[in-house]
Structure 1
Amino acid sequence: MRVVDLPDGRPVIKGVKSQYLPVDWVDLTCVSRRSKPPAQLSFLINTQPVSTGWLEPQVNQMGHDGLTTSSLRLRFSLQPRLLQEGDAKVLCISRIPGIYQQEAEGVLTTRSPYHASVLGGGAPPGTRGWLGVPVAQCISIHYVFHWLLPYF
């Protein structure tokens, strides 16, 4: 008889940053908690298996309860060829063959989290400009001086 204890929830990808620059170093760890037997972990980038040179050997730590937490570290340079519309999708797969498979996804983005409009809108309300004066008042003052200048 084979005793199996499935992992506690989905795997987790640690180390994903909110934004990257192309060629930044990416350092991620996939963790699958407390299972028997240990989960086998793997990574995909944009649905393709990663280069084995980017992986460190999987680490399996057995707890006092006999259950194993598994982790797999992935390190690579975010090359432009990996980006699709500014993003690379990283998938961690945790499996116990024939019994269990769960996934976690992380998105590595090179896109700015805030996109300013060039068509209007200006600064958000309450934004302070030069000498702590609200931006809307700075713009108004500029136009008043510009309008009065020819009369001096």
Structure 2
Amino acid sequence: MTKQTALQTLIGLAQDDVDAATQRLGRVQRERGEVEKQLKALIDYREEYHVRFTESARAGMAAGNVRNFQAFIDTLDAAIEQQRRMLDQATQRVEAAKPEWARSKQKLGSYEVLQTRQDAVQARKEARRDQRDSDEFAARALRMRTSPL
């Protein structure tokens, strides 16, 4: 088992941060999607209700029914406006989570670049050591062949 370096520990911690930021971003995006879906449902319902009212009004309608319709439409309009505000807030939460996710991703990338550089330096050292060992072995073999027995 290899010993974990400080850089590998930092990479692990940074990966945990990226995972957490990704989960937060995903959660706020899902929440925004739900709020948007609810807003669309309210708007669609209002349009359907308005169409039904218009058809009923053409056939003649009592004044009390018109007032009830207008009161219900006003209630729907208020709910739609509230849902729009909630959508704006949800969008702001998504936009606030994006830079946090990007920063954590960039930090992880920086550590990974450092790890890649460190791995390359280590590989060059090992290659030099292997070459030196190979050269020493070849020189020893040549000496043994050329030395009298």
Provide the TM-score with structure 1 as the length reference: 0.23
Return the structure number with greater relative CO, CA threshold 8 A, min gap 6: 2
Which structure: greater strand fraction?
1
Which structure: greater helix fraction?
2
Provide the TM-score with structure 2 as the length reference: 0.23
Larger radius of gyration: 2
